[in-house]
Amino acid sequence: MAKPLNIGVIGCGFMGRTHSNGFLQAPKFFDLPYRPVLKKICARNADRAKSFAANWGYEGFETDWRKLVASPEVDLIDIASPNDTHREIAIAAAQAGKMVMCEKPLGRNAEESEAMVKAVESARVRNMVWYNYRRVPAVTLAKQLIDAGRLGRIFHYRTVFLQDWTISADLPQGGEGLWRLDADVAGSGVTGDLLAHNIDTALWLNGPIEEVSAMTETFIKARKHNLTGKEQPVRIDDASAFLARFRNGSLATFEATRYARGHKALYTFEINGENASIAWDLHDLHRLEYFDHRDEGRLRGWRSVHITDGDHPYMKQWWVPGLQIGYEHTFIHQVADFITALGEGKDAAPTFRDALATDYVIEAVLKSAANRNWAKVREEA
């Protein structure tokens, strides 16, 4: 019988739900050394916390995260609340000797993230950041193909994350659901919110980025703030695009916006190597597009591989070949990998330190855009 791993989750919004589902489902589909127990959910509103706890099967709830962190009943603190809460909670949790899982971006800026890395490393607690797209089976397969050298030398990395939900000038900023538009809470705009994912995946697949040249724009300069009721300047980047040079010599373009009418969450990447190319699209997440120049000439072309077979990453744990899985499974995979590594006395990636590398790229992007020149990406301290 697997030992219990007592979980306390903070935040019962979008990510509170994906994480709760991940903790519940992981032991049903994966053979794990620990069994996650949903001990407590934390939300500031007691009614909301109570009904969330009842719906997802939590044993109890708190309205103050400090109580959750101090609770001897909890082994692992999972941070699924907005970015301005991450640093304080993660540091307190580490100091209390709890394992910490934290949503992305790790901090609102690299300084916050550095303090969080220091806290978990000096307390020697297991830690992980929810860059969940690494665990889409097709993306994991892309990593395996690259690591096996199938693409050969890599020349190009091209990636976008496009949305369209902030185009209306009437949309307010701040507060529940709209904290992403408030720079004090979010840290940055689409660079830290959307491009953080593209950057994490890119660093994982293609190695470190050395320098960037970026431009950002805030299309709507002022919006009513939900908490003050006043029209206030918008200080987040609405759109962000940058060129990058990877350490391996390849060139990249990254673009994210919330002003691409018609796109809800178009996250794509394409990688071009000497021998082969791969492409992936979140809207068709169970497919990996693959082109291999070494194929027989007359039959050479892009293959659209349906990543649903038993020899594809994670897929033998699921249904039968040919049947696809979806977005929520990336969180289930992340829980399964974390707990498997825990059983082996190891860390599962991305750790806080891995996620700090993404924050250094974000920092360079924002600096480059502000100064209108190329910026070097800080190397790990």
Ligand X SMILES: NC(=O)c1ccc[n+]([C@@H]2O[C@H](COP(=O)([O-])OP(=O)(O)OC[C@H]3O[C@@H](n4cnc5c(N)ncnc54)[C@H](O)[C@@H]3O)[C@@H](O)[C@H]2O)c1
Which one among 35, 44, 118, 263 touches ligand X, defined by CB under 6 A?
Answer: 44
Which one among 56, 58, 130, 314 touches ligand X, defined by CB under 6 A?
Answer: 130
Write down the residue that tokens 């990336």 correspond to: 330
Comparison of 45 and 228: residue with beta carbon closer to ligand X: 45
DSSP class of 173: B
Which one among 65, 280, 352, 360 touches ligand X, defined by CB under 6 A?
Answer: 65
* Closest residue by Cα to residue 10 from 73, 85, 72: 85
| Number of residues forming the site for ligand X (CB under 6 A) | 22
Phi first, then psi: what are they for 279, rounded to 5°? Answer: -145, 145
Using DSSP, state whether 89 is helix, strand or coil. helix
Question: Mind giving me the DSSP string for 109-157?
Answer: SHHHHHHHHHHHHHHT--EEE--GGGGSHHHHHHHHHHHTTTT-SEEEE
Q: Does 50 bind ligand X (CB under 6 A)?
A: no
Comparison of 13 and 208: residue with beta carbon closer to ligand X: 13
308 vs 158: CA distance, rounded Å: 25
What one-letter code names the amino acid at 311? D
By rule CB under 6 A, what string of x and - marks binding of each residue 253-272 to ligand X? --------------------
Which one among 5, 7, 9, 15 touches ligand X, defined by CB under 6 A?
Answer: 15
Q: Does 12 bind ligand X (CB under 6 A)?
A: yes
By rule CB under 6 A, what string of x and - marks binding of each residue 175-194 to ligand X? --x---------------x-
Comparison of 12 and 141: residue with beta carbon closer to ligand X: 12
Q: Does 125 bind ligand X (CB under 6 A)?
A: no
- Smallest separation, CB 90 to ligand X (Å): 11
- Smallest separation, CB 344 to ligand X (Å): 24
What one-letter code names the amino acid at 212? V
214 vs 252: CA distance, rounded Å: 12
Which one among 9, 10, 151, 241 touches ligand X, defined by CB under 6 A?
Answer: 10
- Smallest separation, CB 6 to ligand X (Å): 18
* Closest residue by Cα to residue 90 from 72, 74, 113: 113
Query: By the 8 A CB rule, do 223 and 183 touch?
Result: no
Q: Does 350 bind ligand X (CB under 6 A)?
A: no
- Smallest separation, CB 221 to ligand X (Å): 23
- Smallest separation, CB 128 to ligand X (Å): 12
- Smallest separation, CB 103 to ligand X (Å): 3
Number of H helices, E strands in the chain: 11, 17
Strands (E), the chain: 3-10, 34-42, 60-62, 76-79, 99-102, 127-129, 154-162, 209-217, 222-224, 231-233, 239-246, 251-257, 266-273, 276-281, 287-292, 303-306, 375-376
57 vs 329: CA distance, rounded Å: 19
Q: Does 166 bind ligand X (CB under 6 A)?
A: no
By CB under 6 A, the residues from 80 to 109 that bind ligand X are: 80-83, 85, 103-104
- Smallest separation, CB 17 to ligand X (Å): 8
Contact segment (CB under 6 A) with ligand X among 12-20, 117-125, 162-170, 212-220 equals 12-20
Contact residues toward ligand X (CB under 6 A) are 10-16, 42-44, 65, 80-83, 85, 103-104, 130, 132, 177, 193
